[in-house]
Each structure stands twice: as C-alpha cells, then as structure tokens.
Amino acid sequence: MKKELLMSNWKLLYNDIPKGLKSYDQESLLTLGNGYIGWRGAPLLSRYDENHYPGLYAAGLFNQTITPIAGRQVVNEDMVNLPNPQLVKIFVDGEPIAFDPVERSAELNFKNGRLIEKYRFNSKKGSLSLETIKAVDPIHFHSFGYRLKLKSGFDAKIDIEAIIDGTVQNKTLKDIAIFNHENLLLSAAKKIF
C-alpha cells in the first residue's frame, strides 16, 4: 500500500494529488519560512481555488477590513496575503497546459530548507515532466525564489510565463467567508512581453 505521508531523514514526503481541505493542509505543512517571510507550499502553477491557496506573508504586515454584517460594521484583522510571485503558465505549441497533474511527489527537506515537487502532465503531444524547487533564504531574509525543470518526450515550442498575481485575497476558511477579503488594491497591471 502506498503511503501518502512519509517522514525520513529530515524530509517530509507526499506522493499523492490531494483535493480540497487535504490539499490546503499539505500546503500549510509544506510552507517555507525564515522568521520574516512565510511562503505556502502551493504548487507553482496554481491559483486560489477549492484545491489550492498560494500565499506569501511578511511578519508584521496586517490589514483591517470592514464588512457590514446584520446592520453593523464589523472590523476584521488579517495578515496580508501579498501578491503571488509564483504563478507560472506553460504553453506547448501555443496551447496552455492546465494544472491537472496525473502524478505528483513533494519533498520538504528540513536540512536545506528546499521544497521539491515533481509532476507529470499529459498534453495533446504527449507527457511532460515538471520539477520545481522553492527556497527561502535563512540569512538574507527578504530573498526567496524558485527554479523549474521541464522535460518533454516530444518536439514542440514550449513557452513559460512567470506572473506576479496581484489579485490574491485572504479567504481560506468558510467561517470567515462573509468578511471583506480585499487587502490589496490592484491599481494597474501590464504584460511586459
């Protein structure tokens, strides 16, 4: 029987494709941080939906929102979910690849602070393998980043777009779903290329 969660040699391992709250839970456990930045373990190709909640948080950055509830103005305070710097889109011969992997493994290495995820996707032309590595620098605490490795078993033009998504909101829990979640005001966005 294949286990979904393994702990071995300072590593947290998952070998499944979780859905719903189980996915949210795994993303929380795969969060990278350094005392200043917290970066949820959501997959690079994911946006907020019922299965994923990309999040980037900085210590001390809070916001108050006001929501009218039952004739009263209710104040709610949350840590601000900063713009998502990890949204990636992959195109094969101009066709977008949906984030719908057929295989996935995740490894959080506590010794080097890296999150490595491996995915296999199907496209019209064949199978794609994607490896992502995310890290948060423990010394230079404003520094974080990711690296992608993409392999295909076919010839094609492959384009990768790296996007900073400023439309993020704080709306993870159903019990706070009634509150205003707009912590950021996106005033402008443009495509550079």
Sequence spans of domains, the chain: 17-176
Which pLDDT score is estimated for 1?
A: 41
17 contacts 93 by C-beta, under 8 angstroms? no
Q: Give pLDDT tens digits for 11-35.
A: 999 999 999 989 999 999 999 999 9
Is residue 176 pLDDT above 70, yes or no?
A: no
Q: Give pLDDT tens digits for 49-59.
A: 889 989 999 99
Task: From residue 30, give the alpha-carbon distance in Å to each of 135, 147, 155.
Answer: 11, 17, 34
Is residue 92 pLDDT above 90, yes or no?
A: yes
**17-176 under CATH 3.20.19.10, yes or no:** no
4 contacts 16 by C-beta, under 8 angstroms? yes
Structure tokens at 192: 């550079």
Which pLDDT score is estimated for 5?
A: 56
Look at 10-24, 63-77, 105-119, 139-153 and tell me which has the smallest mean pLDDT.
Answer: 63-77
Burial category of 41 from C-beta neighbours within 10 Å (exposed 0-12, middle 13-18, buried 19 and up): buried
Q: How far is it, in rounded angstroms, from Cα 142 to Cα 185? A: 22
Which pTM was predicted?
0.82
